[in-house]
């Protein structure tokens, strides 16, 4: 009996779950509210995503039915409007217009109507506008303006004398967005309170731009001219300037010429920027002629425009600006030379780059980027300059520009008697010289007084020869005929190679090499990072009669064993340290090793 009851309960529970799963989400939609479970919303959105346009009307009808219910919540209406904005048709216009009477839902209804491509929308909104007020009225104006409905012009023109400031403001902005000849005429003749006059001028410019784009260019240009000449709102005058530049042809150039000399800095700056868009060849000449007499901030803007235009005839004016006493102007001129400069500016830029600060950084940036014929050749000539600072800038810039043709010249300079020239050449060769320069670098190393620097350059030059161990072995083989002094410098690189072959070379050099190489070879072993060097160092400590080698070797072993990368287990570390302890004589050395043993035991 109990089993039957259990089966019956399970059956009806499953049936209930099935019914719930198949529940109509549209039936539940009117009661939906924020914060409640939204599975029904997800189901509707999924249906819309998966539906084809032919299926939209059926979904639209169910959404309209949901908001028609008396119990439909604001959350329901908001959701429905968001969906109708995507799939709505003329069928939803009337229900949405009806919602405009409800202040709470009016905004979401307007947003849904705004993009619907139906004439009925504008007709309905215009009708609703005449009977609405307050926020709803302003909202409808904004929606019609967004749709650029020309019939709105006549309606909102009548609102410009209203005592409602928000309504006047919305009406002016709407006229600007709608644009066209009607809106321009309305804004030109409008009589508004003084507080709205700047907005009237700005929206007049918006309307004129829309008029110009829709085929009324000549009428719009006349409006721009009048505003540019007589306007009192600076943003509107700047807009008029841009309108003349974009649509006025030669009148745009006249406006730029006039604005550059204006006492109002924002207008002059706007003129400099607007000139970037002008195609007239006379623009560059006008900018160059005006440049010296302009305020520093405007000079900077003009130089930026000349660079953006990239017109080579601007070069003389930009070079003159390079001598300005104002740092900001000088810096912008240096940057502009990247686009308008040629090989003739190399010397000037190198001279600037020898200093410090923003101007020097700008000059250095341009030297690295300028792309003109003969630039590298001009820099190469600067390697002969008597000023070592200029030589350094030229050498390092040629390196940055990856001009490999200058490497032989740099190698020759690296042997110069002038210390500063040598230093500049070696710094330029560092990381720039390649394996093919190894013989020349070895020859240089033989004669160099600063062997460590040359050795560093030489080591980097071997990068293409393989991994570090292989590189060192090949380098050592190449140096077989070199002097002991050179080999003493090179053997120190063995620990950089750090492989089996490098270790073998260092060990053999210490045990059987010339006396002059024993100490450098020992120090190379002492600098080793891996535990592969422990056995050779222990052997050296045991056999060497040099107390200094014993001390340094013991310290090296302790360092390697303490390194977390050491592969020795605790037992092997302890045994090695105990053996090392027997080889040391000084109490302080023994104390160091005993401390290391204690550390190993503690870790174990």
Instruction: Give the dihedral sign, CA 204/209/211/212.
Output: positive
Distance CA 84, CA 105 (A): 14
- For residue 291, give the nearest of 266, 310, 264, 271 by alpha carbon: 271
What is the pLDDT, as a whole number, of residue 17? 39
Mean pLDDT of 463-488: 91
Instruction: Indicate the range of 442-446, 493-497, 596-600 predicted with least confidence.
Output: 493-497
pLDDT digits (tens, 9 = 90+) for 107-164: 999 999 998 988 999 999 999 998 899 999 999 999 999 999 999 999 999 999 999 9
CA distance 507 to 495: 11
The whole-chain average pLDDT of the chain stands at 92
Residue 393: closest CA among 437, 419, 425, 416 = 425
Residue 12 pLDDT: 42
Distance CA 375, CA 397 (A): 11
What SS3 state is found at 52?
Answer: coil
Cα dihedral 30, 119, 85, 87 in deg (nearest 10): 90
Q: What separation in angstroms does the CA of 386 have from each of 353, 381, 415, 550?
A: 16, 11, 16, 51
Least confident range from 91-100, 171-180, 440-449: namely: 440-449
pLDDT at 22: 54
User: What integer is the mean pLDDT of 414-435?
Assistant: 93
Task: Give dist(CA 477, CA 497) in Å, integer.
Answer: 14
Share of the chain above pLDDT 90, in %: 86
- How large is the C-alpha radius of gyration of the chain? 42
Q: What's the CA gap between 559 and 43, in Å, rounded?
A: 67
Give me the mean pLDDT over the 190-194 stretch: 94
* Mean pLDDT confidence for 516-530: 93
Q: Copy the structure tokens of residue 141.
A: 């104006």
Provide the terminal-to-terminal Cα distance of the chain, rounded to the nearest Å.
69
Cα separations (Å) of 159 from 149, 193, 230, 331? 16, 12, 26, 53
Calculate mean pLDDT across residues 532-551. 92
Whole-number pLDDT of residue 34? 94
pLDDT band, residue 449 (cuts 50/70/90) = confident
- How many Å apart are CA 223 and CA 209, to the nearest integer? 10
Say what the pLDDT of residue 337 is.
Answer: 97
Helix (H, G, I), strand (E, B) or coil at 221: helix
With CA atoms as reference, report the closest residue to 579 among 541, 527, 531, 533: 541
Contact 24, 55 (CB under 8 A): no
Q: Report the C-alpha gap between 573 and 590 in whole angstroms.
A: 16
Looking at the predicted structure, is the pLDDT value of residue 80 above 80?
yes
- Least confident residue range of 11-15, 71-75, 89-93, 107-111: 11-15
CB 489, CB 451: distance < 8 Å: yes
């Amino acid at each position: 009996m109990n089993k039957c009851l259990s089966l019956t309960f399970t059956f009806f529970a499953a049936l209930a779950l099935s019914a719930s799963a198949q529940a109509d989400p549209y039936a539940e939609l009117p009661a939906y509210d924020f914060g409640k479970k939204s599975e029904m919303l997800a189901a509707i959105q999924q249906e819309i995503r998966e539906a084809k346009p032919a299926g939209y009307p059926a979904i639209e009808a169910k959404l309209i039915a949901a908001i028609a219910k008396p119990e439909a919540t604001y959350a329901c209406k908001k959701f429905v409007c968001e969906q109708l904005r995507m799939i709505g048709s003329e069928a939803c216009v009337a229900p949405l217009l009806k919602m405009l009477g409800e202040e709470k839902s009016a905004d979401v209804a307007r947003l849904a109507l705004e993009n619907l491509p139906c004439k009925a929308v504008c007709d309905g909104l215009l009708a609703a506008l005449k009977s609405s007020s307050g926020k709803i009225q302003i909202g409808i104006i904004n929606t019609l303006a967004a749709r650029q409905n020309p019939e709105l012009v006549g309606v909102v023109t009548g609102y410009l004398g209203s005592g409602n400031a928000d309504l006047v403001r919305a009406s002016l902005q709407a006229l600007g967005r709608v644009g066209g000849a009607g809106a321009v005429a309305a804004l030109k003749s409008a009589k508004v309170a003084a507080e709205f006059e700047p907005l009237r001028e700005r929206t007049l410019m918006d309307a004129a731009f829309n008029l110009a784009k829709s085929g009324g260019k000549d009428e719009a240009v006349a409006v721009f001219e009048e505003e540019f000449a007589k306007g009192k709102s600076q943003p509107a005058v700047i807009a008029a300037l841009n309108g003349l530049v974009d649509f006025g042809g030669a009148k745009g150039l006249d406006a730029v010429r006039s604005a550059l000399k204006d006492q109002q800095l924002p207008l002059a700056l706007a003129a400099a920027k607007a000139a970037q868009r002008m195609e007239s060849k006379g623009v560059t000449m006008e900018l160059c002629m005006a440049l010296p007499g302009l305020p520093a901030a405007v000079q900077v803007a003009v130089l930026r425009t000349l660079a953006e235009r990239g017109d080579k005839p601007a070069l003389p004016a930009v070079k003159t600006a390079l001598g300005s006493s104002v740092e900001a102007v000088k810096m912008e001129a240096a940057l502009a030379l990247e686009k308008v400069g040629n090989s003739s500016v190399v010397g000037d830029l190198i001279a600037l780059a020898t200093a410090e600060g923003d101007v020097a950084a700008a000059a250095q940036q341009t030297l690295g980027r300028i792309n003109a014929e003969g630039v590298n050749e001009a820099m190469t000539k600067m390697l002969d300059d008597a000023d070592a600072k200029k030589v350094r800038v030229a050498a390092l810039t040629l390196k940055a520009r990856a001009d490999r043709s200058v490497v032989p010249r740099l190698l020759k300079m690296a042997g110069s008697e002038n210390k500063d020239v040598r230093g500049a050449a070696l710094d330029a060769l560092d990381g720039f010289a390649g394996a093919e320069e190894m013989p020349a670098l070895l020859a240089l190393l033989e004669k160099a007084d600063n062997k460590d620097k040359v050795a560093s350059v030489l080591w980097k030059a071997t990068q293409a020869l393989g991994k570090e161990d292989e590189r060192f072995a090949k380098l050592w083989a190449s140096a077989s005929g070199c002097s002991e002094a050179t080999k003493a410098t090179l053997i120190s690189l063995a620990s950089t190679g750090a492989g089996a072959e490098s270790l073998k070379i260092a060990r053999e050099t210490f045990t059987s090499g010339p006396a002059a190489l024993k100490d450098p070879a020992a120090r190379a072993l002492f600098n080793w990072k891996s535990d592969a060097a422990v056995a050779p160092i222990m052997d050296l400590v045991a056999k060497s009669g040099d107390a200094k080698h014993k001390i340094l070797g013991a310290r090296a072993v302790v360092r390697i064993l303490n390194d977390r990368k050491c592969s020795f287990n605790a037992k092997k570390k302890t045994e090695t340290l105990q053996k090392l302890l027997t080889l040391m004589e000084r109490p302080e050395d023994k104390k160091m090793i005993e401390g290391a043993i204690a550390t190993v035991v503690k870790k174990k």
